[in-house]
Amino acid sequence: MTNYLTAIQEAIAEEMAANRDLIVMGEDIGILGGAFGVTTGLQETFGKERVIDMPISEGAIAGVAVGMALNDKSVCAEFQFIDFISTGFDQIVNMMATYHYRTAGEVALNITMRGPAGGYGGGALYHSQMNEAWFANSPGIKIVVPSTPYDAKGLTKAALRDPNPVLIYEIKELYRSKSIEEVLPTEDFIVPLGKAAIRREGKDITLVTYGQNVYHCLEVAEKLAADGYEAEVIDLRTLVPLDEETIVESVKKTNRVLVVNEAPKTCGFAGEVVARINELCFEHLDAPALRVTRLDTPVPWVKPLELFVLPSVEKIHAAALKICKF
The three-state secondary structure class of 261 is strand
Give the chain's radius of gyration (CA, Å): 20
What number of residues does the chain have?
326
Query: Rounded to whole angstroms, what are the CA distances from 186 to 2, 156, 176?
Result: 11, 16, 20
Nearest-angstrom CA–CA distance, 235 and 247: 10
- Which one of 100, 127, 216, 317 is the catalytic residue? 127
Task: Check residue 245 and give left, alpha or beta (phi > 0: left; psi -120 to 50: alpha).
Answer: alpha
How, if at all, do strands 205-209 and 231-235 pair?
A: parallel
Backbone φ, ψ for residue 281 (5° rounding)? -130, 20
> What one-character DSSP code corresponds to residue 197?
E
List the Cα angle 163/138/147 in 5-degree steps: 70
List the Cα angle 103/107/110 in 5-degree steps: 140
- The residues that bridge with 168 in the sheet, in sequence order, are 114, 144
Nearest-angstrom CA–CA distance, 175 and 4: 5
| Known catalytic residue at 127 | yes
| Residue of 262, 175, 248 whose CA lies nearest to 214 | 262
The three-state secondary structure class of 196 is coil
| Residue of 233, 264, 261 whose CA lies nearest to 247 | 233
| Residue of 223, 227, 175, 217 whose CA lies nearest to 196 | 217
Active site residues: 127
